[in-house]
A and B are shown apart, each in its own frame.
Chain A
């Protein structure tokens, strides 16, 4: 698997700094689970946090803080090495954790044209959903404000000249006009997050779709 479309430095730094909305965290963690390049780049942004901590000012703790800490660790078991999270199937571990299992555990909701979605519960500053788009079908039109991240988990979609396969991430802003189409072959499953709530136009009859530039 060769991943060609990666996280931006801005997103990696935002994740390392702990400043992303929960929905974006999930997309970043899922992509990093699939992409060694971004995992390595993320480590460098974590290291910036470490360096900042090292040169940061110090604020003394209360007088008995160390005594309290030593008392607290007394009898506190040290966990043994945890089993690494194993990818269950299509969904990398952090996503499987939100879904509560692999694809079979997803509670899809039909939104027309064979397209299905499943909104995952996150804090409300951004939303994230799984999208199921039958091969050869256009991604339903969904107006969005702010940033939209779309990560491919299965199948592929094409947008203008670029092709996005498993692990690839498309980053779109509100100015970007895009008409992604799921490619022939396997049905396409994506994880999509937006800053502001998505507004699907709902049960569109297939014939009406060209009208809405889907």
Chain B
């Protein structure tokens, strides 16, 4: 199935792409409100990425590119990359998204989270030239059709986190941003984020328990 529209959220074919009438951004003067609007944009990025994964859908890729590439570029520049390096690196990240789409599992992570992990690893490659050890992959077994409810939950986790981030006191949010953008050394990173992380942990924990149970 190919997406005909290049804009995300414009097709109803899969029933997954639900455009939500997001509040017009023009009348949101305050940064915090803008952040909230961004966090609840409502486009189903996972559905688009699954189109890339299962059908090499270039239109879906283009929609993902428009949304994520400028964010990845900004993230890399905030991490200290010069514009040209950040641009090249953002291109790398998006090409990796295309190439490794089969590794994306909508039940485990939202697309934003997945793109973030790719971008972070590219940043380590490009700016620090370190190797980065990754945890052993888990054999999730023959991939069943992703559980729609689980996929929704992963996206909702990220949305909820986005809203929580936006409503943090400015000072606290800045600290978290600095930690992730590379302004803080690891010993300066504070563990207390004030963010609701417990739900994500218990959701993933539950999935892992289920998996281990099946394996034994």
The chain A residues found within 8 Å of chain B, CB to CB, are: 8-11, 13-14, 16-22, 24-26, 28-30, 32-33, 36-37, 39-62, 65-66, 68-70, 72-73, 76-82, 84-85, 87, 92-95, 97-98, 122-123, 146-147, 195
Interface code B172-214, partner A: CB below 8 Å = 1, 0 otherwise? 0000110110101111011111010110111111001100100
Q: Determine the residue in chain A with the shortest Cβ distance to B64.
A: A69
Q: Determine the residue in chain A with the shortest Cβ distance to B130.
A: A22
Instruction: Pick the 5 closest A-B CB pairs, nearest first.
Output: A50-B113, A9-B191, A58-B70, A50-B112, A51-B161
**Bound CA–CA A95/B96 (angstroms):** 24
- Of B15-23, B134-142, B144-152, the one with at least 4 CB within 8 A of chain A: B134-142
- Tell me which of B136, B182, B212 contacts A92 (CB under 8 A): B136
Q: Determine the residue in chain B with the shortest Cβ distance to A67.
A: B62
Contacts of B171 in A (CB 8 A): none
Q: What is the CB-to-nearest-CB distance from A74 to chain B, in angstroms, rounded to a whole number?
A: 8
Known: A52-B176, A94-B136. A70 touches B62 (CB 8 A): yes
Instruction: Give B99-114 interface residues, CB cut-off 8 Å to A.
Output: 99-103, 108-114
Q: Which of A10, A28, A52, A70 has the most CB of B within 10 A?
A: A52
Q: Determine the residue in chain B with the shortest Cβ distance to A9.
A: B191
Q: Determine the residue in chain A with the shortest Cβ distance to B120.
A: A18
Contact, CB under 8 Å: A44 / B204 = yes
Q: Determine the residue in chain A with the shortest Cβ distance to B77.
A: A59
Instruction: Label chain A's interface by main secondary structure.
Output: helix
**Bound CA–CA A84/B35 (angstroms):** 38
Contacts of B68 in A (CB 8 A): 53
Contacts of B143 in A (CB 8 A): 81
Contact, CB under 8 Å: A70 / B165 = no
Contact, CB under 8 Å: B157 / A47 = yes
**Bound CA–CA A76/B189 (angstroms):** 39
Contact, CB under 8 Å: A78 / B99 = yes
Q: What is the CB-to-nearest-CB distance from B85 to chain A, in angstroms, rounded to a whole number?
A: 13
Contact, CB under 8 Å: A24 / B186 = yes
Contacts of A11 in B (CB 8 A): 186
Known: A17-B179, A54-B71, A68-B91. A10 touches B189 (CB 8 A): yes
21 CB contacts below 8 A, A to B, read A10-B191, A13-B193, A16-B180, A17-B189, A26-B133, A33-B136, A36-B205, A40-B200, A43-B109, A48-B193, A48-B197, A50-B109, A54-B39, A55-B166, A61-B69, A61-B90, A69-B94, A78-B56, A84-B136, A85-B137, A92-B136
